């Protein structure tokens, strides 16, 4: 019953915003595929069209169950809602370069009965996940996610998905996608890369590899010192300590002046 009600709410809410979604926002790019029927939605969240093409929704991450150290039914709930939304009406897909991922799947914003990304984020059925080479609509997505998080909708009702403090990230979080907040204590450089240290606790850092620094040429990283930021990505272990790699400035949200 809980799952069915969540799916119904997602569909109804998407339909109420269909008028707004009929105009594709500038941030979404240009139309790549117009009014396409979706044959099925794979477990990964990929939308499969009748001609075999696969489309993935850019800018978000669906719950992953065991990979998130979270109950499987949350992943099932999000996938069921996506399937219901994707099959409810023809979908128009808009893209910005690069248009495809390494598997040849189209990376897109989807618009049918509503904006698919918006429907999932506002209902707490996905988190914002910014790719290294794409960041379209990121400010809009962060607002949608924040509204769902404040209301405790969907996955945000579960402590496992809470925003973590920098000092609370541990080696046990390795391999999981996390949203982390903390005050930047220092921004250091070395070997061509950049390392952000946080004043809360010890161990957790955020790193920008040398090959990714060009993406931050217009971003004053030193200005982050003393400010609280929110960042997101997959936790890795480097030098025995947890770390999140930053490859796109849109992964960073400045929370206070």
Task: Give me the residues paired with residue 16 across strands.
Answer: none
Neighbours of 164 (CB within 10 A): 20
The pLDDT score that the predictor gives to residue 154 is: 96
Same domain? For 121 and 208 the reply is: no
Lowest average pLDDT, out of 77-81, 138-142, 201-205, goes to 201-205
Which pLDDT value is given to residue 257? 58
Domain residues for 41?
2-157
Segment among 16-25, 123-132, 140-149, 184-193 with least mean pLDDT: 16-25
- Above pLDDT 70, what percent of the chain? 91
Same domain, 153 and 192: no
| Range in 18-32, 45-59, 119-133, 229-243 with the lowest mean pLDDT | 18-32
Determine the Cα–Cα distance for residues 22 and 128; give it in Å rounded to an integer: 22
Domain's final residue, options 115, 140, 157: 157
Q: Which residues contact 191 (CB under 8 A, 6 or more apart)?
A: 210
Residue 238: count other Cβ atoms within 10 Å of its Cβ: 12
Pair (13, 131) in one structural domain: yes
| Interval 75-129: pLDDT, tens | 999 999 999 999 999 999 999 999 999 999 999 999 998 999 999 999 999 999 9
Domain count for the chain, please give it.
2
Instruction: Specify whether 183 is located in the same domain as 114.
Output: no
Nearest to 83 by CA among 118, 144, 42: 42
| Mean pLDDT score of the chain | 90
CATH of the domain at 122: 2.40.50.90
Q: Are residues 23 and 86 in the same domain?
A: yes
Q: Which of 157, 191, 223 is the endpoint of a domain?
A: 157
């Amino acid at each position: 019953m809980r799952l069915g009600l969540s799916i119904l709410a997602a569909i109804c809410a998407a339909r109420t915003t269909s008028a707004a979604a009929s105009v594709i926002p500038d941030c979404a790019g240009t139309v790549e595929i117009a009014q396409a029927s979706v044959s099925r939605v794979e477990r990964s969240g990929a939308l499969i069209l009748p001609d075999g093409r696969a489309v993935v929704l850019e800018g978000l991450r669906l719950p992953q169950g065991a990979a998130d150290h979270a109950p499987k039914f949350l992943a099932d709930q999000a996938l069921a809602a996506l399937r219901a939304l994707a099959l409810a009406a023809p979908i128009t897909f808009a893209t910005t370069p690069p248009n495809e991922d390494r598997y040849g799947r189209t990376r897109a914003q989807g618009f049918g009965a509503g904006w698919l990304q918006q429907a999932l984020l506002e209902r707490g059925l996905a988190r914002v996940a910014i790719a290294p080479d794409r960041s379209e609509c990121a400010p809009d997505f962060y607002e949608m996610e924040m509204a769902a998080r404040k209301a405790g909708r969907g996955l945000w009702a579960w402590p496992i998905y809470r925003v973590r403090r920098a000092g609370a990230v541990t080696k046990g979080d390795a391999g999981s996608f996390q949203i982390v907040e903390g005050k930047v204590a220092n921004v250091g450089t070395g070997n061509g890369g950049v390392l952000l240290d946080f004043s809360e606790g010890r161990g957790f850092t955020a790193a920008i590899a040398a090959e990714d620094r060009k993406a931050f040429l217009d971003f004053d990283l030193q200005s982050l010192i003393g400010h609280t930021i929110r960042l997101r990505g997959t936790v890795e272990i480097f030098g025995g300590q947890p770390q999140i790699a930053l490859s796109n400035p849109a992964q960073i949200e400045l929370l206070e002046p």
